[in-house]
Chains A and B, each alone.
Chain A
Amino acid sequence: MWVDLRQWDYYFLAVTVVYILWRLKILMAH
């Protein structure tokens, strides 16, 4: 298979962390 789909878990976690950090940044700035 062209990509090991278990790797999606790393993507899910990474995007969630970045999303939470972004939300916190906006919350602090507001």
Chain B
Amino acid sequence: MAFKNFNGTLKSFPLAHLPTLALSIGTFSFWLELYVVRLPFGHTSWLAWGILILCLFMLLTSRGWQLYLKQAVALLCHESLFLKVIAATAFFLGLVYLSVGLYASLLPPHLLQESDALTYHITLPRQHLLIHSFTHLTWSVPDLFLLPIDYALSPFELATTWPNKLIQFVFFAGCLGVVFHLVYILSGQVLHRAAMGVVAVMACHAVAIQVGLAMLDLVMLYCFLAFIDSFLAKRWGLAAIEFAFFFWSKSFIPPQMMVIGAILGMVLYWALKTGFSWQELPIPDSRARKILLAFFTVTSLAIALPHLIKAFYYTGTPLYPLGTGFYAPLMKYTPDHWQVLLQRAADCMSEKDSYGHGRSLLAFIKHFWLIAVPERGVNNAFDYPVGLVYLLVLVPWGGLVIKSLKYRKLPILSLIIVIWWLTWWFGSQQSRFLLVPITLMIILTISYLPKISWVLTVLVIVSLGLEVISLVDAHRHDWGKPLIKVIREKDRKLLELKPFQGKTELELNFEDVAFSQFPVTVHQDNSVYVLPK
């Protein structure tokens, strides 16, 4: 009976929001694996995958996506031959793109772009699973970072013999589903715009470059877009859960969100007082506000509290490296060790200025172009280019904002984009931190442009084709290789290492140890991520 009720609840759950279930299942599973299941060698059981696959099968019986599919086929039958060819080309390119991405995500993490995954996204949960404890790993700086999403994904990543990154692809698929639904709703239920929105987001270089990788930016993008989608659909509880996962995903996100929220609140107050009308998002009533607050609080306590307490105890700030030294830590250190912790925090913070071209007015004007294009080789000063699709939508989006303001309608989602962009400008100017505003910009432009011309459609599909080439080029070296040849030489050696002379830990001089089957202690003076013993 309980199973039937659960199935009934899931029938009204949107398929595109499956990754939210993955995050919830993963968080719960991690603690269960850590303290109850306690498998050897830092592995997890198949519990999390099992529950997720069960949920997926139940969701596949839901009507929503089947209706979209039927509607799309019926619509396409009545279109001209030109449009049929366009749709078939986009479908074919999309299929190749997704196949390459899926294949890449089936390989163990090994690429240069996956160094954060190998250094801490996967390494830290695994090291904790190896020692069956959440206690601080005294050699690791990122162990003091806020990492709830990293831990929530670990039961999926560590269920296989070697770490896998398939779950990241599930989040990318969720992103596309949410983009489809957002454009469908915002455009007044126009199906071809929704499909175009999906193609445009796939064709965005900033997105494509991360498909099939163990990076977490697409996971964070999913969380924010899913929050907006749930908010629009007035699924308040789900919206609060998704926002909480985004809010606590990195140390700098809570202050960034608070700044965005405060500025947005002031602008809204002023605009509504001066006669602007509210549009795009529903206004939550008193009951909805209570649900939002209750779900946000409970989710925050469940996912972030252990990390916040640990960071506060060891560093005096819950958001290490932010605010280190403001309060003395509860942990008693020698003055030298405390100085190293302060230095490591300063090193992490100084990294934010190593991107971009400074913060002058000229640099501000130029960056709108420069973030889109490579400056040397394939990269630019903002790490990597965001690509043509952003340039295609940038100016029309600006036009739509001006038009909206002219008619005294408040474009709230666009306001979020503008404020987000400004906080990015004064923070770390890495293009990947613009993924949310750029994707929102694409969604809004495709939804609101009075006409989606064939010129735009063809250019977006050409961009998708270019991204397919880019994806193939990024991953073709790994095709057909046995997995042992795919992983780094360092990891091949690490797999053979065992503690010796009665010790229980490996002593190493590098910190990217996601493949280690034993607890490690790292001795490395030059790494920003390693603390001295």
Contact = CB atoms under 8 A, between A and B. Distances in A.
B403 interface: yes
A6, A8, A16, A23, most chain B CB atoms within 10 A? A8
Given A2-B403, A8-B396, A26-B375, A19 B449 contact: no
Contacts of B403: 2-3
B144 interface: no
B374 A26 contact: yes
Contact of B396 (A11, A13, A23): A11
Interface in A1-30: 2-3, 5-6, 8-9, 11-13, 15-16, 19, 22-23, 26, 29-30
State the majority secondary structure of interface residues on B: helix
B456 A9 contact: yes
A2 B406 contact: yes
A23 B399 contact: no
B392 A16 contact: yes
B259 interface: no
Nearest to A13: B455
Nearest to B450: A5
B377 interface: yes
Contacts of A23: 373-374
B459 interface: yes
Interface string B136-174: 000000000000000000000000000000000000000
Given A11-B396, A12-B459, A6 B451 contact: yes
A19 B396 contact: no
A14 to B, nearest CB: 10
B392 to A, nearest CB: 6
Contacts of A30: 376-377
Contact of A22 (B373, B455, B459): B373
B372 A19 contact: yes
Contacts of A26: 373-377
B205 to A, nearest CB: 11
A8 to B, nearest CB: 5
Contacts of A22: 373
B486 interface: no
Contacts of B392: 12, 15-16
Interface of A: 2-3, 5-6, 8-9, 11-13, 15-16, 19, 22-23, 26, 29-30
Give the top 8 A-B pairs by smallest Cβ distance, nearest first. A9-B455, A5-B450, A15-B391, A22-B373, A26-B374, A12-B455, A9-B453, A19-B388
